Amino acid sequence: MQTTTQTDSLPFWRYHWIATLSDGRQIPQFDADGHKFPWSKLPDKPVAITLLPFSKDLALKVRAVSKVAALPIAALPVVVADLGDGLLCGIDERFHTTPTVKCLSCGHTFPFNPSGKAECPACHDKDEWFCADCQANREPLVIDNTILCPTCKANGKTRGLKRIMKFQISASGMQYDFQHWVRTGGMEFRVTCDRIIIQPYQKPQTTEPSTDNPQQ
């Protein structure tokens, strides 16, 4: 396979929060015009947080005004109430490398799996092996880690095969990703790229700096 380098696009925000205060006031992370309100500027500790999917109209305004890559999705809001120890809303950020494979036959791109078979999941094409003696593609015969032509081998020859590569591995550069979360009472509500995961949360016992970033 050939190898290239590419840059990942900016990840999308799919949800935003609305903080409900003890006096009943509700303060949204983004107002109706798309302006962002920082979590640190909340006048009081919230008693509930609503994770709300972006509407099409708000997503367009947020993208234009706050320069946040908001994406409208069809999903239900999730209300997180204070379970007794307060509410904390934040974001985990990471930089990572995720190799992908591009099929040179149909152009489909899929995640690279070193243990998977070299076959395109879209068009099912795979690498071919060409024999110069037979002037034809042959199914490879592997003997002692050597790729041979089965027809030539049957005729007493040890002709090797030339691999016709149908895929290109993209060794992507450093990519940026994030996940929003709300924590309270030992529970965590984590927003991933396609859903909200509700799971127990226990703060890591470590002296190293945390990667958890409170919302700005």
pLDDT tens string for the chain (216 positions)? 333 333 334 568 888 999 999 999 999 999 999 999 998 899 998 999 999 999 999 999 999 999 888 889 888 888 999 988 889 888 887 766 667 888 888 888 887 777 666 788 888 888 888 998 899 888 888 888 888 999 898 888 877 888 888 888 877 655 667 788 899 988 999 887 778 888 998 776 654 433 344 454
Q: Same domain for 110 and 19?
A: no
| pLDDT given for residue 144 in this prediction | 82
Q: Same domain for 82 and 111?
A: no
Instruction: With residue 154 as reference, give the H or E element that holds it.
Output: helix 150-154
| pLDDT given for residue 204 in this prediction | 67
Based on the structure, what is the number of domains in the chain? Answer: 2
| pLDDT given for residue 19 in this prediction | 93
| pLDDT given for residue 160 in this prediction | 82
Q: Same domain for 130 and 116?
A: yes
Q: Same domain for 179 and 166?
A: no
Owner of token pair 């002692």 = 144
Q: Is 127 within 8 Å of 120 (Cβ atoms)? A: no
Annotate 100-153 with DSSP letters as a single string. EEEETTT--EEE--TTS-SB-TTT--B-EEEETTTTEE---EEETTEEE-HHHH
Q: Same domain for 30 and 91?
A: yes
- Structural domain of 78: 2-95+175-214
Coil, strand or helix at 142: strand
For residue 161 the two structure tokens come to 């095969």
| pLDDT given for residue 122 in this prediction | 83
Annotate 188-209 with DSSP letters as a single string. EEEE-SS-EEEEE------SSP
For residue 71 the two structure tokens come to 């994406």
Q: Same domain for 30 and 131?
A: no
Q: Is 50 within 8 Å of 20 (Cβ atoms)? A: yes
Phi, psi of 162 (to 5 degrees): -95, 125
Q: Same domain for 209 and 135?
A: no
| pLDDT given for residue 121 in this prediction | 82
Q: Same domain for 121 and 73?
A: no
Q: Same domain for 108 and 88?
A: no
Q: Same domain for 179 and 196?
A: yes
Q: Same domain for 159 and 187?
A: no
Nearest to 157 by CA among 176, 131, 188, 179: 131
Instruction: With residue 19 as reference, give the H or E element that holds it.
Output: strand 15-20
Q: Is 4 within 8 Å of 171 (Cβ atoms)? A: yes
Q: Same domain for 32 and 117?
A: no
Coil, strand or helix at 93: strand
